[in-house]
Amino acid sequence: MRKVKIQVIGRVQGVGFRYVTKQLADDMEVKGTVRNESDGSVYIEAAGTNERIEQFITALENNPTPFSKVNNVIVTDDAKLDNFVSFKITN
């Protein structure tokens, strides 16, 4: 099980990014949370197999909504994250 923190930077608020992130996570069986940050970025905590996490990150990097513009995706492994049972939008 791989656990990661992800910060997505760009035009990612107000464009359905969190909703699509949840859809991607559900489709890929990734568990965790997604929320908007006050700096305009989106913060994600995610857990899943290494293969599914890599697929999830790639999907995020590829502008998953028609109106998003992802400039940067910062991924940090963190084994201390919670053991999530689902994927939720937290704000």
**Catalytic positions, written as ranges:** 18, 36
Question: Tokens at residue 65, please?
Answer: 């909504």
Closest residue by Cα to residue 55 from 16, 25, 15, 23: 25
Angstrom distances, CA of residue 83 to CA of 3, 33, 58, 76? 9, 11, 22, 16
